[in-house]
Chain A
Amino acid sequence: MLCILAAVAALYPRRVPTIAVIPRTCGTYLWEAEHTGVERVAPRYGLSVYWNAPMREDDVQGQIAILDRELKRKVQGVILSPVEALPLRTSVYRALQGGTPVVVVGTDLGLAPAKNLAYVLNDERRGGQLAARRIGLVLGGKGTVAIVGISNQLTSTADRARSLEATLSEEFPQIHVAYRSLALPTVSQEQQVAEKMLAENAGINAIVALTETSTRGAFYALTEFNKAGVIHLVGFDQNMMVPIRTGGLDAVIMQNTNGASRHDTDGRRTAWRSKTWLCGAAAAVGDEGEPRLERCE
């Protein structure tokens, strides 16, 4: 009888527990770092990784569809970087109701951290401070700033904007924010907004772009106006590294998505842990620790 049981057990080998890691999109520099990190750590815990995401970073429905499908497949856990906060809340709530542990990376969904729900968030307040101090540094504490890419869909960028402006007003009272624009879904739209802003605000000394899309849009607008390197541009999220190398972009506040993924699979609650770096010509800072400022020059 035992032999038969052993033979049957051999026919149906034990399934390796799988976790679904669903970033906002994949195949980009920003998110492939998370993939690398999670693939490195998951085997240590006997986990296999399902990695997939929408083809576009703004495809909310696509991300919900992937999440719902993986929950139906009964994955043992989910690591999610929501495209937007509110639309994903229901799916995450259902996952938690179904007993699936969820780690949310990058933005606050509004659901309180609980036994099965943990957040791994960037220290957006710190990121805003870093951007403000970089602006203060390059402008010598005096000038006019435009802030583009303020998003209401993600608390993360809203926090960045608040922290940025608070730091500027506290530490650099002679730097004024002369222009603000909301985040738009495509680079072309962000560029149009930046172009309009540049055309109507001749006295702008620096731009802070709070998203990767707005960073690219602002950079293209500056290039078109031949102001790249003249008007300082501080961006967020690291898909825009080339202009740092060429000098067209002053700095990028990076997310350590690789390190974030290591915390995710450790299963520890790491909410509001700082993982924001400001980097310059040396590109990404490779390890955890206190965020630090690297000059572009």
Chain B
Amino acid sequence: MRKTTRRWLLGTASVGTMLLIVAALPLAYFVWKDRRPNFHDSFARNGQGELRQDGWKSFGGTWQVVDGAMLNISDDRGAKLINGSAKWKNYIVEADIQLLGEAGDAGFVVRTSQEEVGVDAYHGYFAGLRDIDDTLIMGRADYGWHEFQSTPVRYGIRTRTWYHLKVLAYGCTLLASSTTEKGVVTTALIEEPKCLASGRFGLQSYSTGAAWRNVVVRPAAKSDLDAMLQARSLSERERTKSASSAPGSWMDERFFEPIQRELREHKSDLNAKTIADLRLLAPTLSSQVAVHGVVTLVSPMIFIQDSTGGIAIPQAHTGTPVQIGDSVEARGDVEQHEFSSVLRNADVRLLWSHTPAPPVSVTASQAATGAFDAQYVETEGRLVSRQRGGGQSVVLKLDEGSQSFMAIAENPSLAATLNKLQYGSRLRLRGICVTDRSYAQNEMPFALLMRSVDDAEMIEPPPWWNTLHIIELIAGLLGVSFGLHMLFMSVKRSQLHAVIEERERLAMEMHDTLAQSFAGLGYQLEALSSEAPEGSPMRAQLESSVDLVRFGHMEARRNIAALRPGNLEQLGLEKSLEEAARTILQGGPVDLQMAVRGEPRPIPLRIADTLMRIGQEAIANAVQHGRPHTISLRLVYGRSSIKLTVRDDGQGFTTMGERSGFGIRGMKHRADGIAATLRIRSSLSHGTSVAVRAMLPQSILSLWWWQSIRTGRWRHWLHG
């Protein structure tokens, strides 16, 4: 191999390798980024009030961001908020965590997959703090709960108190530690031989609301594991149970203790009224009453409901903050409103947790009656518009049948979700139905105050026939039509070229055979004639034959000239026409006049050829039938058309209608082929005028359509 070739190959290979590396780098980065646990969310907001960190996905619960913390304000059992990558293997999750209610637990799920809405509906591990038995618990969920470890936390777990919770997953060792504000550390460990090797992480609470702040996920190394193991006290280590051990008394804690806790705390007003009964109180007197109900909304105000109705409690005084799903006793002054009552100056006291109320499914028309005022309802509607409300809120306007209503979301996470919905989508919405003017704005019969991301569900995407899609469709159809037209023109052009080539071949054949034969025959006959005696009948017949042959030869030459377009494309139409006319008139007494008006410019070959053929035919007809003295050719280039007029001063003829000659029918047929108009005027002794006018390309299509409609040609298309 030559040295230069080797050098060239080497250079090419080097450049190729470099290019491959450069191309692979971004891919490798994304793969590496996906596999490397790295996450931090302080639940701060950017300038637009939206959360900086994205990717959270909720499975149950009522999630919202308040003061830099992510809150689940519902008592749902097993509410989850998931983030991260399914490929994450060894990592540490840590955050500050706070239980908002009693008789439940909250913490982290790690190495989780196949999450669904449900109590233990995921495959993964959970580590969290449980206040029922004041323990740090660890276990595994496989659509069912297996608790492996519950380590008592010294000084107990208090609600509304921050704990720092850290969970490490390294290999098949999972270690959790909780640290109180006073620095008391509790750890729990599980080692499972057949462990789940990778998965996402998330926040989970069970039977209580909870708050998380400063959530951090980072890769875990062996040194992290060693450090946590080292920090783990000996006594805690002795309490560690094997992960393979069967679940023990945790069922008692999880299932029975809440009942005992409820029992201890529960004391309620025996004279509490039902919410519907409040409507029967005298409207003019201020009455202080107690009602029992389940909390359905906590912000912007508390709403509670029982089986008879719902009631709003603005500016409630709550000892222990209440959450959605809590059963409470509210005592305050009743104020009668149009469709429901309001409890003013109310003290709200928690009776027990974990009794969330399901929404009542109603139609928009039913909700518009006011019968469901202040109640948690579920209804459907089609999204019409969306606008920003006060603060971070988003207001949706929806239509359903004859009713319109609003849905209001003040939760930023929910607002962000709603912002992604497309107009025209059919939505199923849940929220508190309010008829109050401050929400419904006197425009709509009612509004829904939504609570969490799960309260909005798209059940049908918008129909495709919206304005944008229709415009796109029309544009597409026009594009296709234009393309088809161009294709049609291209095919026609190809066909024309083929016809021209065929005519050329025929002309050549005629020239080489017929014309040559005529020439030879004429030469032979002239020779015979010259040898025949002068004045003999034979000589007269031979001379007559020579004349006939000469005439035939001349006709053949004319036909050859007519068949050969010459250099139409090179010479242009006017020159070609003039040349063709001179060829036809060659040797005759007819005077030819040629005039051109307008600015000559290239015209499509198909049009030029048609005009050429019609012109030739008109000239030939004039010569053959009219015996003219003068033939004038007039070519006019208009703005959007071209017009050729062939006029002679011959004998003329009367219009023959349907019986018009073959030449005229041919001219009409040719004119139709290019959507041109053909006018033939003739009268006896005043000559003949043949005028053909063709539109130039920018308007030829529209004219063709117009003429088709005008002449009724479209009927032929319809009927095949």
Query: Which residues in A have some Cβ–Cβ distance to B below 8 Å?
Result: 25-29, 32, 35, 39, 49-56, 58-62, 66, 184-189, 191-192, 195, 199, 216, 220, 223-225, 239-243
Contacts and interface: CB of A to CB of B under 8 A. Distances in A.
A32 B358 contact: no
A240 to B, nearest CB: 7
A192 B274 contact: yes
B117 A62 contact: yes
Given A186-B307, A220-B266, 18 more contacts: A28-B255, A51-B143, A52-B116, A55-B79, A61-B378, A62-B117, A188-B352, A191-B268, A191-B292, A192-B274, A192-B292, A216-B259, A220-B263, A223-B263, A223-B266, A225-B270, A240-B259, A243-B259
A223 B351 CA distance: 14
A220 B352 CA distance: 11
Given A184-B307, A240-B259, A55 B143 contact: no
A27 B274 contact: no
Interface string B493-523: 0000000000000000000000000000000
Contact of B361 (A29, A58, A61, A185): A61
A53 B119 contact: yes
Given A52-B121, A188-B294, A220-B262, A59 B307 contact: no
A32 B144 contact: yes
Given A52-B118, A188-B327, A27 B270 contact: no
Contacts of A51: 143-144
Nearest to B351: A188
A255 B645 CA distance: 105
A27 B266 contact: no
Given A52-B121, A53-B119, A188-B327, A35 B256 contact: no
Contacts of A220: 262-263, 266
12 contacts: A27-B120, A51-B144, A52-B116, A56-B358, A188-B294, A188-B306, A189-B292, A192-B292, A195-B272, A216-B259, A239-B259, A243-B259
A185 B118 contact: no
Q: How large is the interface on B (under 10, 10 to 19, 20 to 34, 35 or more residues)?
A: 35 or more
B295 to A, nearest CB: 11
A35 B143 CA distance: 10
Interface in B346-362: 351-352, 355-358, 361
B439 interface: no
B304 to A, nearest CB: 10
A27 B272 CA distance: 32
Contacts of B466: none
B78 A188 contact: no
Nearest to A187: B355
B272 A29 contact: no
Contact of B293 (A62, A188, A199, A225): A188
B270 A199 contact: yes
Interface in B335-374: 351-352, 355-358, 361
Given A26-B120, A199-B270, A241 B256 contact: yes
Nearest to A248: B263
Nearest to A213: B355
Given A51-B143, A62-B117, A29 B76 contact: no
B356 A56 contact: yes
Contact of B294 (A25, A59, A186): A186
Nearest to A87: B361
A224 B256 contact: no
Contacts of A216: 259
B357 A29 contact: no
Contact of B251 (A32, A53, A188, A223): A32
B145 interface: yes
Contacts of B272: 192, 195
A192 B306 contact: yes
Given A189-B307, A192-B274, A192-B292, A27 B145 contact: yes
A58 B270 contact: no
Nearest to B118: A52
Nearest to A240: B259
A187 B356 CA distance: 10
B270 A224 contact: yes
Given A186-B355, A192-B292, A55 B76 contact: yes
Contacts of B256: 29, 241-242
B143 A50 contact: yes
B128 to A, nearest CB: 15
Chain A to chain B: the 4 pairs with minimum beta-carbon distance, closest first? A27-B119, A188-B327, A52-B118, A29-B255
A55 B119 contact: yes
B60 interface: yes
Contact of B357 (A186, A223, A241): A186
Contacts of A39: 144
Interface in B255-282: 255-256, 259-260, 262-263, 266-268, 270, 272, 274
Nearest to A228: B263
Interface in B71-125: 76-79, 116-121
A39 B145 CA distance: 13
A225 to B, nearest CB: 8
Contacts of B293: 188
Nearest to B273: A192
B144 A239 contact: no
A216 B268 CA distance: 15
Nearest to A49: B143
B118 A26 contact: yes
Nearest to A39: B144
A184 B256 CA distance: 22
Contacts of A60: 358
A78 B552 CA distance: 98
B76 to A, nearest CB: 5
A49 B143 CA distance: 9
A27 B78 contact: yes
Given A39-B144, A61-B361, A241-B256, A187 B327 contact: yes
A56 B75 CA distance: 10
Nearest to B306: A189
Contacts of A185: 307, 357-358
Contacts of B145: 27
Contacts of A25: 119
A192 B355 CA distance: 14
A54 B361 CA distance: 17
A55 B327 contact: no
Nearest to A52: B118
Contacts of A28: 255
A80 to B, nearest CB: 15
A27 B77 contact: yes
A240 B255 CA distance: 9
A192 B304 CA distance: 15
Contact of B255 (A35, A61, A239): A239
Nearest to B116: A52
Given A29-B255, A220-B266, A188 B292 contact: yes
A35 B144 contact: yes
B230 to A, nearest CB: 36
Contacts of B260: 242
